[in-house]
Chain A
Amino acid sequence: MESEVCVSFGRAPYFLVYDTQSDVSNFFENPGAASQGGAGIKAAQAIVDAMAETLLTVRCGENSAEVFQGAGIKVYKTTKVSAKENIEAFQKGELAPLTHFHGGFHGKI
């Protein structure tokens, strides 16, 4: 909970799932982190499959955004350093929705 939020969504090593009702938290590995292309899609899929309703991240790409939109997951931009601080800020309604999604690299290295 004290760990920092990774600057990249698709390449983040782990995701933290936090249940706001029970206060239970869980880490799981990002299956997209090591993939060559389409990391954002795979990572977003993992969030969808984890039954998340909201995602807190620094930034995320267009493809991930499309997955979230399709799945009805809201994305908010983190402003604090640690996961804990950001969750608290979110619960107080202090985080703004993430509106800018960067274009991907689409395997064009």
Chain B
Amino acid sequence: MLSGKGGTGKTFVSVNLAVTAKNAICIDCDVEEPNGRLFLKPEESVTEEVYTKLPQVLEEKCIGCRKCVDSCRFNAMGFIKNSPLVFPEVCHSCGACSLLCPTGAIYELKRPIGIVERGRNKEVQVITGILNIGEASGIPVIQNALDTKITEKSIMIIDCPPGSACSVMESVQTADYCLLVVEATIFGFHNFKMVYELVSLLQKPCGVVINKGDYTYYPLINFCKENNITILCCIPYQEKLAQIGANGEVASEKDDETRMIFSTLLDKIRMEVRE
């Protein structure tokens, strides 16, 4: 599940699809703002801490050869006054420096950066990645959340972070099919094109869900036609859906019409994936 910006209803679609599919694993990779769990309210949750490794230099062992600095492909190290200096926000925790240091002067310090919560809501397995506030990269948390076994009968729904940054790429990699949620407005359309570009770059099949709109926003409709993108469904804006959402409830459990929309959507996706 992707969208160009936040608030298009990506979580709404993910949660409702998961509930409709029943046998589903819903993974929230929007680690800076994971909202799916507010609706799915998982029970019996188990949390696991996610760490990243940060290299530390033991100055007394360092001989100043600069191998570490020169070998860091992320330029995360400087060399000042005869000793290396690590920049935590730039470091990708690749481990190259500690591996290459000839004197063993670098060791890796584990630093917690977030958690992954695993629980369930009836037949839906609910997995949520949560990044600690102020952390720059959520990738390790996303990787941990995605490291989940899928059984043959179940479907996995991955709620990606908004936008088209590295964390989105990471989330999309294992997907068989991408669902692009878009709002039928000029901004929604602009952001949608960027996400579509990313998905085509990764050569993933995809389809569009128009949320809070109808089929009359022609720039979007025409763009989809020209690029041969399937519009799977259109969910009109309805007061009752907003109300259900505000109460922290799942619309397709409360409202028959919404349940129909999502069960049709699910069938269409299944057909698309089979093709």
Contact = CB atoms under 8 A, between A and B. Distances in A.
B69 interface: yes
A96 B275 CA distance: 66
Interface residues of A, number: 20
A63 B74 CA distance: 13
B80 A48 contact: yes
B81 A70 contact: yes
Interface string A49-73: 0000000000000010011001100
B96 to A, nearest CB: 14
B76 interface: yes
Interface string A20-62: 0000000000001001011101101100100000000000000
Contacts, number: 58
B137 A35 contact: no
Contacts of A48: 78-80
A93 interface: no
B90 A106 contact: yes
Contact of B78 (A37, A44, A106, A109): A44
B87 interface: yes
Contact of B85 (A37, A67, A106): A67
Given A70-B80, A71-B81, A109-B165, A104 B89 contact: yes
A10 to B, nearest CB: 10
A38 B90 contact: yes
A66 B85 CA distance: 10
A79 B118 CA distance: 56
A34 B79 CA distance: 20
Nearest to A43: B75
Interface in B162-184: 165-166
Q: Is the interface of B mostly helix, strand, loop or mixed?
A: loop
A108 interface: yes
B77 interface: yes
Contact of B89 (A45, A67, A106): A106
A52 B86 CA distance: 21
Interface secondary structure of A, over-half rule:
helix
A94 B55 CA distance: 42
Contact of B75 (A39, A71, A108): A39
A41 B87 contact: yes
A63 B90 contact: yes
Contacts of A106: 89-90, 136-137
B231 to A, nearest CB: 29
Max chain A C-beta neighbours (<10 A), residue from B79, B81, B165, B166: B79
Given A38-B76, A107-B74, A66 B137 contact: no
Contact of B136 (A44, A63, A70, A108): A108
A66 B87 CA distance: 9
Contacts of A71: 80-81
A65 B76 CA distance: 14
A55 B77 CA distance: 20
Interface string A87-109: 00000000000000000101111
Chain A to chain B: the 6 pairs with minimum beta-carbon distance, closest first: A38-B75, A70-B80, A42-B75, A67-B78, A38-B90, A71-B80
Given A38-B75, A66-B87, A106-B89, 10 more contacts: A35-B75, A37-B74, A41-B77, A42-B75, A48-B80, A63-B89, A70-B80, A104-B90, A107-B92, A109-B165
5 contacts: A32-B75, A67-B80, A67-B85, A70-B81, A108-B166
